[in-house]
Structure 1
Amino acid sequence: MNNKAQTMRKLLLILFFFVAFGAYAQSELKFYYDLNCSSYYNVPKNEPTTLKTGMGGGFSYLYGRKLYIEPGIMFAQHRKQYTKENGEDVKLTAKIKEQMLKVPLHIGLHLFGNERSHCAFRIYLGPTYACSLKSSVKVNNIGDVADKFDFKRSRWGADAGVGLNLYFFFVDVLYEQEFSKYSDDTNKRNMGFQVNAGLRFTLRENASKPKQAKADANQ
């Protein structure tokens, strides 16, 4: 088994552990639609990059009240465009599409309310593993030359964002940045903004609450 497959297997095992733990702890399941705008940083001066919109979706589990942990899995399509100037009369415009599997692990804090409140506001941050599933590159709208870009399949990054819960609905706005180069041939790294909107469902109360209620009743 190669290193990429081993890394993916470990991440899925970790996520399974959190999901299994959720059966015994207060938690909620969240499904969402994603709209993102992505680009690159560490870009040479002669390669201006344009933000492009993409989309995706996923799910996550949240554990805790005020302080919480939230692992998840999502699929996303990222789109970017940059122009490389090779002289006064030569400009190459590259349009990039990349389909990715992401595994974020966020740690957050409810500043107002908690996951059982009708309304809550939270902040969070955490690492993200990204696996490039498929990519396409068109230069000057001619053909697909993705094989010449040598995209890295496995990359690491981090997210930071804010979220608002309103009854069964929630909205997250976050900034994402990758620390790994998207290719060995360049120092460029992915960055962008993301908006998630979806539904949340509380799974179970903390198992200790009935015991605490019974103890209070006996006093």
Structure 2
Amino acid sequence: MKKAFFVLAALLVIQNSFGQFALGIKGGVNVSKIYTDAGSFKANFNESLDTKTGYSFGAYARLGKKLYLQPEVMFATKGGKVNVVPVGGGSPVSVDIKTNNIDIPVLIGYKLFNRIRINAGPVASIKVSEDAKFLDQLKVVTSNPDEAFEKATFGYQAGVGIKLLGFDIDLRKDGSLSDVSSKQFDGNQFSQRLSGWQLTIGRKII
């Protein structure tokens, strides 16, 4: 299914505008959280602002003119806060989560009026490291903190962008389609998936 998606995307872009290519750099902020099954969309967004704000930066390529394919490579910090039961039982402990990741989104986009863009697509997220303070907190709740969270996850990004004064400004919804935590954190208190928003500003260099 994923292979078919990429092949179709490539064919559409090549057919639409062969030879159109751009390369750029971008950076910005992420607001994210580990969301609960009971949370509403509005509650998730507000909680994200209150829990963990990170940053992201990297590069993108854009192939196509009106209809385009946009792969990116981004370094991103993400996280949230969850309550977990310590090893051996006891009262729940609040764990402040922060991880450093390499995100690789592959988006299909469409330009409106040559200024507004809409785009969406899958993203692979590879965990590079955890915050040192986060690892210390994990020792309270698990005997193997380095294995508490998955090394790679699969998700999606979808959003809108606008070109303003030569800069590309993008706002995207960023979500997980697979669990970010390992089996050690299974439980009913949280759904183990990351949800958030990303706001970036970029500029074409080629």
The two structures have a TM-score, normalised by structure 1, of 0.68
Deviation, structure 1 residue 200:
1.6
Would the alpha carbon gap of residues 94 and 137 (structure 1) be closer, same or farther in structure 2, given more than 3 Å must change? farther
For 2:160 and 2:193, the matched residues in 1 are separated by 23
Q: 1 CA distance for matches of 2:67 and 2:176? A: 25
Contact 1:136/1:144, CA 8 A, preserved across alignment: no
Q: CA distance change for structure 1 residues 26 and 167 in 2, over 3 Å: closer, same or farther?
A: farther
Kindly report structure 1 stretches of 4+ aligned residues shifted beyond 6 Å. none
- 3-state SS, counterpart of residue 163 of structure 2: strand
- Separation in 2 of the partners of 1:179 and 1:72? 19
Instruction: Provide the rounded CA distance (Å) in 1 between the counterparts of 2:131 and 2:61.
Output: 32
* Letter of the 1:38 counterpart: S
User: How far apart are residue 53 of structure 1 and its match?
Assistant: 0.4
Query: 1:30-60 CA distances to partner (integer Å, 9 max, x unpaired)?
Result: 2111200011235479xx9842100120110
Residue of structure 2 equivalent to 1:8: none
Q: Structure 2: give runs of 5+ residues left out of the alignment.
A: 1-9
Which structure has the larger Rg over C-alpha atoms? Answer: 1
Any idea what SS the aligned residue of 2:181 has? coil
- The answer to which structure has the higher strand fraction is 1
Query: Structure 1: which 5+ runs fail to align?
Result: 1-16, 114-119, 204-219
Could you say which residue in structure 1 is the equivalent of 2:170? Answer: 172
Task: Figure out how many residues of one structure are paired with residues of the other and give that number.
Answer: 171
Q: Distance in 1 between matches of 2:124 and 2:85?
A: 33
Q: What's the CA shift string for 1:84-129, capped at 9, x where partnerless?
A: 589xx9441111110000110000000121xxxxxx1010000000
The equivalences for 1:95-114 within 5 A come to 95-113=96-114
Alignment partner, residue 7 of structure 2:
none
Match of 1:215 in 2: none
Greater mean alpha carbon deviation, residues 142-151 or residues 103-112: 142-151
Query: What TM-score, normalized to structure 2?
Result: 0.72
Q: Which residue of 2 aligns with 1:56?
A: 56
Q: Secondary structure of 2:178's match? A: coil
Quick check: 1:107–1:126 contact (8 Å CA) kept in 2?
yes
Q: Secondary structure at the match of 1:34?
A: strand
1:37 equivalent in alignment to 2:41: no
